[in-house]
A and B are shown apart, each in its own frame.
Chain A
Amino acid sequence: MADPRAAILGRLSAALGHAADAPAVAPRIDAHARGPQPMWTESVRGRFLAKLEKVAGTWADVAAPERIAEAVADYLAVQGLPPRLCAAPHPLLAGLAWPQGWEVESRRAAGDDRVSLVVAFCGIAETGSLMLLSAPESPTSLNFLPDDFLCVLPENRIVPRLEDAWALLRDERGGMPRAVNLVTGPSRTADVEQTIQLGAHGPRRLHVLLMKPPAQQALRARAGD
């Protein structure tokens, strides 16, 4: 059988009547030109939270990184969950002082984990989305397997639009990790009679811990503006 790659590409260039390596086209990819940008009047934080609530996400303010454990405890108490969770091996979570008797494991998720705690790469105000990147400090399975998905988002890491998140990703990471997950609210389905039901296969609940950045980090963010 003929080489399918050559056959398909041959038909394409015959139909298009030009060679594949048109030099005029090449720069388009790297120009990263943006399409029409949705506009709004609210603050970035206000927009993010309004959109998050619209998709049934919940959130709480966290005054400082060392208060994360407290915010998690509040959430578990409200949900009536036991003090057990699987936390991402993220530096921000590594030094937390968990209350006595808590079971906190730092690893990828297993099928029966009830609660996960992760740190988002950034938030996107346009849609109330969290952007999560697969990495040693951010196992992707934590985003999808547990019933309750808790995500720390430093307040200074909310960007206006999706294109701003791509710019941040290129700037800070240089390229794509294996997985980029845009997570917008809990898992849902409408496959039974178009009735929306939360918690299809992924998390049933999504809770954002909106964290005031540590003083030093805030300073750096301002200096970089």
Chain B
Amino acid sequence: MKPTSHAFADNAHRALDDATLQQALAKAGVGFVAKRRAAVAELPEFDALRQAGRAIKDHTLAHLDHYLLRFEETLQAAGGQLHWAETPDAACAAVLEICRDAGASIVAKGKSMVGEEIALNDALEGAGFEVVETDLGEYIIQIAHEPPSHIIAPAVHKTRAQIAALFEAHHRQPGLARPLESVPQIVDEAREVLREKFLSADVGITGANFLIAETGSTVIVTNEGNGDLSATLPRVHIVLASIEKVVPNLEDASVLLRLLARSATGQEITSYTSFFTGPRRSEDPDGPEEFHVVLLDNGRSRLLGGAFHDMLRCIRCGACLNHCPVYGAVGGHAYGWVYPGPMGAVLTPLMVGLEEGAPLPNASTLCGRCEEVCPMAIPLPKLLREHRRQEFDRGLVAGRSRWALAAWAFLARRPALYRLASRAGARLLHKLSRGRGRFAKLPLAQAWTAARDLPAPQGDTFMAQWRRSKRG
């Protein structure tokens, strides 16, 4: 999709004014946070697992070439085929070629963020294939023609009434008069419609939460079972993965699985955690005849060893989204591309360019909750600040902010002058407040004071009061 991250401010204003969206967001945020907290509290070993998980990722990244080569070797030994892709276009081309070679017409897809990143549905539909998203959330946004607004709950921005209306419009057939109001009715409707697609699909496409170098396996974690049906029933199974997903062995994957489900949905483990290793064996009664893994780089190899290296540890659990006050207020679409929230504010500028993504690292209070809940201990605020620094260096910061930052930096490096200026400012504001103790409105800061009052300074600075008390 064409990113609209540059228009974050406008997007955010629209989101804040959208009453239905606000209703959906209010419902979602609280649930995710409480479920994660309960799951973490129930596992005394969580912190130890977090440290172990981080160490596994750090080790794997430090030997990424080694583990990718080992994965290639074991995958091929199991009869699978590996397709290296440097760019989204190359990854789409690899998938299209496999689908054409298979003589496919219907493609059933499980949820894949790499699929979103490379805009695979557009490519497949453009080439004449029928693509059906089979994860309920993904299916909802597919028929609504929208991108996901959350990396694990793609339709979290939709209310039940909106979903029911979409299904009414999309599934309407002569003689069809099923009631569509309650959650079970909506889920059953999707089950029935998508069941036919699973059974007739020629190619199944899923993502991968992990790749295992030891065995050549790909791992998916789902609750609905759609990923497994996509991987089991069609003749061909294609896995979309990116290079940082590899881990050394099954024990390493076990550590990360314990962290992933708890951080994402507050589950100890999802309903289905599946490991796929090659195509069906000669005696197997079911399973795909071909097994392909498309391995995407899309700039990740350039992050290795650089300022954003830590971001490669991300396991896409979504905890940083769920705990972000900005994401909670505006939802995922405002971020304007595939990855929203704190992890998206770090990744988007790296993947679509700092010019396009410039507003995202600034749309953060740097409160630090994201880093606190990240199971991989990624220093997200530090990475957001690094983007801001680079924006400043590259002249991407607007005139007024640039001028204000430069003025502040000038003062901050001259303590005597800084104290003098803050003292003058405090006195001036005290005088202007005329004893009311607060400002309901301030020139140049009306957006800030629109929602709250600024407390007026008491007339003197902290430094001055400190000196006085020490003398006294």
Contact = CB atoms under 8 A, between A and B. Distances in A.
Interface of A: 4-5, 7-9, 11-13, 15-16, 20-22, 25-26, 28-30, 32-39, 51, 55, 89, 107-109, 111, 126-127, 129, 134-136, 139-141, 143-145, 161-163, 166, 175-195, 197, 199-203
- Name the 9 nearest CB pairs between A and B, nearest first: A202-B225, A35-B255, A200-B224, A191-B137, A36-B48, A20-B65, A176-B277, A191-B136, A11-B301
Given A51-B268, A180-B274, A202-B229, A20 B224 contact: no
A184 B269 contact: yes
B226 A140 contact: no
B449 interface: no
14 contacts: A4-B90, A12-B304, A20-B69, A21-B66, A21-B69, A29-B213, A29-B249, A36-B48, A38-B45, A141-B286, A163-B251, A176-B275, A182-B272, A189-B224
A185 B265 CA distance: 15
Interface stretch (B186-194, B341-349, B412-420, B455-463): B186-194
Given A13-B65, A28-B249, 15 more contacts: A29-B70, A34-B254, A35-B53, A140-B232, A140-B286, A141-B232, A145-B229, A166-B250, A166-B251, A179-B231, A180-B277, A194-B27, A194-B156, A200-B191, A200-B226
B163 interface: yes
Contact of A192 (B48, B65, B160, B305): B160
B284 A135 contact: yes
Contacts of A193: 24, 27, 159-160, 183
Interface of B: 24, 27-28, 31-32, 43-45, 48-49, 52-53, 56, 59, 62-66, 68-70, 78, 84-86, 90, 134-137, 140, 153-156, 159-160, 163, 183-184, 186-188, 190-191, 194-196, 198-199, 213-217, 223-226, 228-229, 231-233, 243, 248-252, 254-255, 257-258, 265, 268-281, 283-287, 291, 297, 301-302, 304-306
Contacts of A8: 84, 86, 243, 297, 301
Most A-side CB within 10 Å, residue of B90, B136, B224, B265 = B224
B286 A108 contact: yes
Given A141-B286, A191-B153, A16 B64 contact: yes
Given A29-B213, A127-B269, A134-B287, A11 B302 contact: yes
Nearest to A34: B251
Contacts of B278: 178
A145 B198 CA distance: 10
Contacts of A141: 232-233, 286
A89 to B, nearest CB: 8
